[in-house]
Amino acid sequence: MALTLCLLPMAARAEDNKPTLTLSEGLPEDVAANLRALVDPGRYPCRPGPAQKALIRRQVNDNSAEALRALGYYQPVITQHWHGGTGEDECFRLALDINPGPPTLIERLDIELRGDAQQDPAFQRVIDQAHLAPGERLRHDRYQSLKRNLQQLLINRGYAEGKLTAHRLEVNRDQHSATVVLHLDSGPRYHFGSVTLAGDPMLNDSLLRGYLQFHSGDPFSNERLLNTQQAYLGTDYFSAVRLERGKPDKQHHTIDVVLTFSPRNKWALLAGVGVSTDTGPRLRLGVENRRLNKAGHTARAETELSSVHQGVGASYQIPLSDPVNEKLDLHTSYLNEQTDTSDSESLSVGADYIVKLKSGWVATPSIEYLRETYQVADQIDQAELVIPGFQLDRVKAEDRIHPQFGWKLGGKVRGADRSLLSSTSFVQLDGWGKLIFPVPVIGGRVLTRGEVGYTQVSNVRQLPASLRFFAGGDASVRGFAYEALGPENDDGDVIGGRNLLVGSVEYDHPVSEQWSLAVFSDAGNAFNDFNNYDIVRSAGFGVRWNSPLGPIRLDLARGLEAGQSWRLHLSMGPDL
């Protein structure tokens, strides 16, 4: 142990004691960065001998010239200044005094497309995005990037006979000008040929082909081919899907495709555990049949147990004509719920038609039969409702579990009428949103969320507990118990309201790769009249652990009104 501690300072000195490089001031940022990348004195010995020093001088000069030439400076003046490197514990220090000289500007772009690529806008987009234009400083990396992108497009978009017939930079050093020459002859664009579905997928051919993102005869596209593979893997039917491209058929200008499927096990057991302050510890168990028949129907049954919720449910899903974006979900559930403000026992049977629109939004028309027996304060009652509804929502993020930037937005309208087998009439609207964005300079994230609800009903007591609005809890107004906020009766018991307003602002600051600290402020309440309501406010702080199972949040919050005590909140689950 003592030996290790003694060696640590020596290792640190050895790490610090390397040759260093200093550049003259005033160089463009990209030039300085390229010089540091190509001229690295740290790879040389600290105290080179005369022969080594002469070799290093030549290499530094060549590498510096190469770094400058790549960014359009062909006539630089490079002066090396050496210091140190003579003492026993001293490394040499190299200072480069660089006058890059006049930049070489692009005088002309000689970019020519021949073949079917002339009518393919993807090629022109790549050219337009290359940042090569007359009058701009020549940069070799942009020229090379454009050349690679054009060659990749030929492959990705089915130009099996395409090639670059000319590619060069013509530089006039005396005039400080350059011409970019890129001639591309794409030949004909190939199309998808036959599509063979191999293996034993155990599903109807018509259903399998519904997941294809292309058809025979469509222009070939690697992107659509990979999207098809992802569409198959996005189902629960297959554990693997292998793609094989056939050899290009030069006579018919087609490329055949073979998809080989490896089915997953038909049955799966489901299990999950979680914990939150709202519900306490919870356990979820279930069983799923991923492939009930060749039409791809699936079924699931599960139960959830916690101190607040105890229930069982089952669902049956049917893929429709566009199975990637369209399905029918038939479901039923029994739920027993006990909160600090209400007790309820409900039976629900319903059907959802779920369709993903081309815009990315998910639209869900639905119909539900609900029978609920409930007690709220001194009211004990039963409701029987047939509830048609419609929901529209969307989530967009690079990572839904722990995004740096992302958002979700949704809204739902539902209602019932006494003339349609219901015990009461009502119309209810509910909208919600969440936005997450990074904070520049200091780092971290800001998380904002909000929800607004409105119900048109003659008397809120006619609504069952599950259709009334309450506030408070881990995902509502922290600092207050789950569903502890809302209108009260004459005895001071919370009975829920017609309407809802809730909002929150939070800042998370990372302290390590997996841990972050948070401060936040929440506000909101449930109420009966938009012209007369009280907003309850709270604030607090917490810690976040980005666990392998998703974020786990531990918060301490309190209401801002006098007399409120601190309350602990524990929750887990994706940020979006």
Which contacts qualify for 442-447: CB closer than 8 Å, 24 or more apart?
442/509, 443/509, 443/510, 444/507, 444/508, 444/509, 444/510, 444/516, 445/404, 445/507, 445/508, 446/505, 446/506, 446/507, 446/508, 447/504, 447/505, 447/506, 447/507, 447/508, 447/575
d(CA 480, CA 496): 15
| SS3 readout for 239-270 | EEEEEEECCCECCCCEEEEEEEEEECCCEEEE
- 312 with 286: CB under 8 angstroms? no
In this prediction, residue 6 carries a pLDDT of 38
pLDDT tens-place string over residues 316-339 = 999 999 999 999 999 999 999 999
- 341 with 497: CB under 8 angstroms? no
d(CA 422, CA 388): 11
d(CA 194, CA 217): 9
In this prediction, residue 550 carries a pLDDT of 83
Tokens of 2: 């003592």
Average pLDDT along the chain, 576 residues, taken 10 residues at a time: 37 60 91 92 88 92 94 94 77 92 95 96 95 94 96 96 96 94 97 93 92 95 95 93 94 96 94 91 96 96 95 97 96 95 96 96 98 95 97 93 93 96 97 96 95 96 96 96 94 95 97 95 96 95 91 96 92 90
Tokens of 139: 């940069």
- 431 with 503: CB under 8 angstroms? no
Paired residues of 289 in beta bridges: 267, 299
Tokens of 101: 């000289």
- 516 with 510: CB under 8 angstroms? yes
* Phi/psi-derived region of residue 72, left when phi > 0, alpha when psi is between -120 and 50, beta in every other case: left
- Among 569, 505, 276, 550, which Cα is nearest to 402's? 550
| 56 phi/psi in degrees, rounded to 5 | -60, -40
pLDDT tens-place string over residues 88-125 = 668 888 999 999 999 999 999 999 999 999 999 999 99
Please give the DSSP secondary-structure letter assigned to residue 529: B
d(CA 60, CA 38): 9
Tokens of 397: 């993020």
Q: What is the largest CA-CA distance in the chain?
A: 102
In this prediction, residue 519 carries a pLDDT of 98
In this prediction, residue 10 carries a pLDDT of 39
Find the angle CA(254)-CA(260)-CA(263) to the nearest 5 degrees.
155
In this prediction, residue 83 carries a pLDDT of 87
In this prediction, residue 16 carries a pLDDT of 53
- 310 with 284: CB under 8 angstroms? no
Q: Are strands 280-289 and 567-572 parallel, antiparallel or unpaired?
A: unpaired
